[in-house]
Amino acid sequence: MRYPPGHKEETRRRILTEASALFRRQGADATGLPEVMKAAGMTVGGFYRHFDSKSTLFREAIRSSLQRTLGFLRHNPGRGRQWLQSAAARYLSREHLANVAHGCPLPALTPDIARADPESRQVYADALREIVDELAQRMPEDGDLPPRDRAWAFIATSVGGLMLARGASDPELADEILNACRQAVVD
């Protein structure tokens, strides 16, 4: 059976999208290939036409999800204090808190990446540096920290805050964490 042009690329993209969502929701170790392929509407046998291993799939999921984050930053113009307040309000929100599978990959995937192979960790580090470079261009230049340091502080506080809030079983505690982190990154 002949497939239309672009079919293989579209199928690969579908597998990657479903895997990325499952990895974020459940963790990489808890996500099996049968589950990924079922979510993509395929059988496990089709997996190896697109990826040579689950590690390769994970690495590509890291790369593509962090590139989407970078693309989001690049296509949402602005800079300075007003941009920072808006970014903190969106990132450290109840909506983002609940959107594990499709939200920022950093809070969901960083623990898995810390245990991943060196090549996956390098993909993560390279993408993270690009994200910080982009954020640094948007940071207000007032305050005690240079823009790049402030970008790192923004990421660390925001990602860490979201992780802690997601772990809280009490919604009031989650809100307290999100509010404190929002204040910390804009002050």
Q: What is the mean pLDDT of residues 10-22?
A: 95
Instruction: Give the pLDDT band of residue 99 (cuts 50, 70, 90).
Output: very high
What is the per-residue burial (b if ≥16 Cβ within 10 Å, else e) of 10-29? ebbeebbbbbbbbbbeeebe
* Structural domain span for residue 141: 53-186
Residue 18 belongs to some domain of the structure: no
Per-residue pLDDT tens digits for 120-165: 999 999 999 999 999 999 999 887 899 999 999 999 999 999 999 9
Q: Which pLDDT belongs to residue 6?
A: 73
pTM, to two decimals: 0.89
Residue 166 belongs to some domain of the structure: yes
Residue 3: pLDDT over 70:
no
Q: What is the number of alpha carbons within 13 Å of residue 118 lying toward its C-beta?
A: 0
Q: Which pLDDT belongs to residue 2?
A: 65
- The SS3 of residue 51 is coil
The domain spanning residue 62 has which CATH number?
1.10.357.10
Residue 68 belongs to some domain of the structure: yes
Q: Which two tokens stand for residue 72?
A: 């989001």
Per-residue pLDDT tens digits for 35-82: 999 999 999 988 999 999 999 999 999 999 999 999 888 888 889 999
Per-residue pLDDT tens digits for 160-186: 999 999 999 999 999 999 999 999 999
What total of structural domains would you count in the chain?
1
